[in-house]
Structure 1
């Protein structure tokens, strides 16, 4: 099925793999991004993305292979560990959220670079390409990567769909959720797991350093166009998919790294939306305030 779709696209096969792969990753990241942005945990996702690096390195040291499955599993476990470390520092260590995030982010990045440097000097011929997890390397995607992204993305979006009301209530009215008997820790754990999945899927394409932009920028753009969470999730996913697909094409034609190109496109979409959105954009607000008889706030 995937092979038929790839060959049907009016692109060379390697370019089609990159475009479809980056579009899938962009959609999943954009659709799950509201879990971070609306709960004011954008930098939480950044620390988790940096936290994937030690997991990738340890998984390679243990298995000795660059097969995506063990590396993604290691990245997921490491990202989850980084998330729980931040939560622990906040709740048990009584650290401020920004201090906890900064601590975990710095330690994760430093440990990841140390381990990657150790692997590079080990003489293992299989280690070539591991540094791509730092800045991303979409050109190395194959059909199996697309299949994994589709499978895990479908699981994540199914969870969001089933638990949509609970997630919405916990995001906008956590007090009501607590009164209704919904355990806060369960919602936090589910949100953290979904964010970890989005980060793990995108880290190879966009890179650990830039992954947070793919989580945040599509949400910022979509929020200017809709006020409903039920519309925000698919719209943010669509913007992420469009940026991923266009970035895949542009990077291939211009021989530029896909990750930074995708992030620049997503950022441009966010800036344009903030400025020119029909109702909530900056220019629309200026026009309303300049009309006679319209009160300014």
Structure 2
């Protein structure tokens, strides 16, 4: 079945079907790769990378003079990688604490991106219209080509996680084992950082640079209340992210609201419900167990 046939099968209008499919893929990738940030306490690392994409989008537009999504995403990927390397360099060679390095890179990259976007908007170039959507995200302009790009990147992420799952798991829970196994720690760090960058770049147009980190974190928080194994956590988090992206994306479009905030609010709501209502680890379940112990 081709992509066009799949979209026709969905019980939605064509524009809504495109949004649902596109945002579902974006949400799935963010949820799938989110544990690489959350479990390794690198959530703010991903936040700094997502803010760094703004400058890359602006520079890509200035260089090419055209708002071609693939070229803008390439610029975003390069700037996200530069932000990641800058944080690592400041932490290792500048003898800075991790939070200080992240704060510096996040502030500088966001400021640079806003300055460049503001400067481009001031030129009066009609072709720059819509670049500001990368701040808070926008789904209204999604087309089938966007879904194809998202599916390709999602396939890369799934294959990479499948092939390197054992190393990623050991690097998350037992970094010492990775070194003992003969694999250099920096190789695994580079791979996990690259996967995070992929998720960030894929979602920045839909969710926006400012809120992308929330889509990496919220599905993981929800899924962690329901499972204790990484092999189950990653796909479950991906499914929660996909549901948040699909429902939030089409809701934002119909209500004429920015896509990013709506998707993030929905994902956060699911996380809160999971924290409260999860059958074993939820707040209510713990309260019930406490009452049983007291009465016993």
Hey, what's the Cα distance between the residues in 2 that align with 1:80 and 1:99?
Answer: 18
Matches within 5 A, 1:5-20: 5-20=6-21
**Once superposed, what is the RMSD of the aligned Cα atoms?**
1.2
Hey, what's the Cα distance between the residues in 1 that align with 2:20 and 2:12?
Answer: 9
TM-score, with length taken from structure 1: 0.97
Hey, what's the Cα distance between the residues in 2 that align with 1:56 and 1:258?
Answer: 18
Q: Which moved more, 1:7-16 or 1:147-156?
A: 7-16
List per-residue Cα deviations over 1:26-60 (Å, max 9, x = no partner): 00110010110011000111000000001000000
Report the CA distance shift for 1:10/1:124 in structure 2 as closer, same or farther (over 3 A): same
Cα shift at 1:290? 1.6
> Does residue 1:237 correspond to 2:238, yes or no?
yes
- For 1:139, the equivalent position in structure 2 comes to 140
Hey, what's the Cα distance between the residues in 1 that align with 2:127 and 2:253?
Answer: 25
Q: Unpaired segments of 5 or more residues in structure 2?
A: none
Cα shift at 1:147? 0.2
> Does residue 1:201 correspond to 2:239, yes or no?
no
Hey, what's the Cα distance between the residues in 1 that align with 2:40 and 2:158?
Answer: 18
Please say if residues 214 and 266 of structure 1, whose CA atoms lie closer than 8 Å, have aligned partners that are also in contact. yes
Q: Unpaired segments of 5 or more residues in structure 1?
A: none
List per-residue Cα deviations over 1:86-111 (Å, max 9, x = no partner): 11111111111111111000000000
Cα shift at 1:293? 6.2
Please say if residues 136 and 259 of structure 2, whose CA atoms lie closer than 8 Å, have aligned partners that are also in contact. no
Matches within 5 A, 1:250-289: 250-289=251-290
Cα shift at 1:292? 3.0
Cα shift at 1:258? 1.7
Hey, what's the Cα distance between the residues in 2 that align with 1:247 and 1:233?
Answer: 21
- For 2:58, the equivalent position in structure 1 comes to 57
TM-score, with length taken from structure 2: 0.97
Hey, what's the Cα distance between the residues in 2 that align with 1:21 and 1:111?
Answer: 29
Matches within 5 A, 1:285-296: 285-292=286-293
Hey, what's the Cα distance between the residues in 2 that align with 1:284 and 1:11?
Answer: 38
Cα shift at 1:294? 8.9
Hey, what's the Cα distance between the residues in 1 that align with 2:53 and 2:89?
Answer: 18
> Does residue 1:73 correspond to 2:88, yes or no?
no
Please say if residues 22 and 241 of structure 1, whose CA atoms lie closer than 8 Å, have aligned partners that are also in contact. yes
Hey, what's the Cα distance between the residues in 2 that align with 1:186 and 1:123?
Answer: 45
- For 2:150, the equivalent position in structure 1 comes to 149
- For 1:115, the equivalent position in structure 2 comes to 116
SS class of match (1:33): helix
SS class of match (2:140): helix
Matches within 5 A, 1:88-127: 88-127=89-128
Please say if residues 288 and 294 of structure 1, whose CA atoms lie closer than 8 Å, have aligned partners that are also in contact. no
List per-residue Cα deviations over 1:268-294 (Å, max 9, x = no partner): 011111111011111111111221369
Number of aligned positions between the proteins = 295
Cα shift at 1:124? 1.8
Please say if residues 23 and 240 of structure 1, whose CA atoms lie closer than 8 Å, have aligned partners that are also in contact. yes
Hey, what's the Cα distance between the residues in 1 that align with 2:145 and 2:213?
Answer: 24
- For 2:86, the equivalent position in structure 1 comes to 85
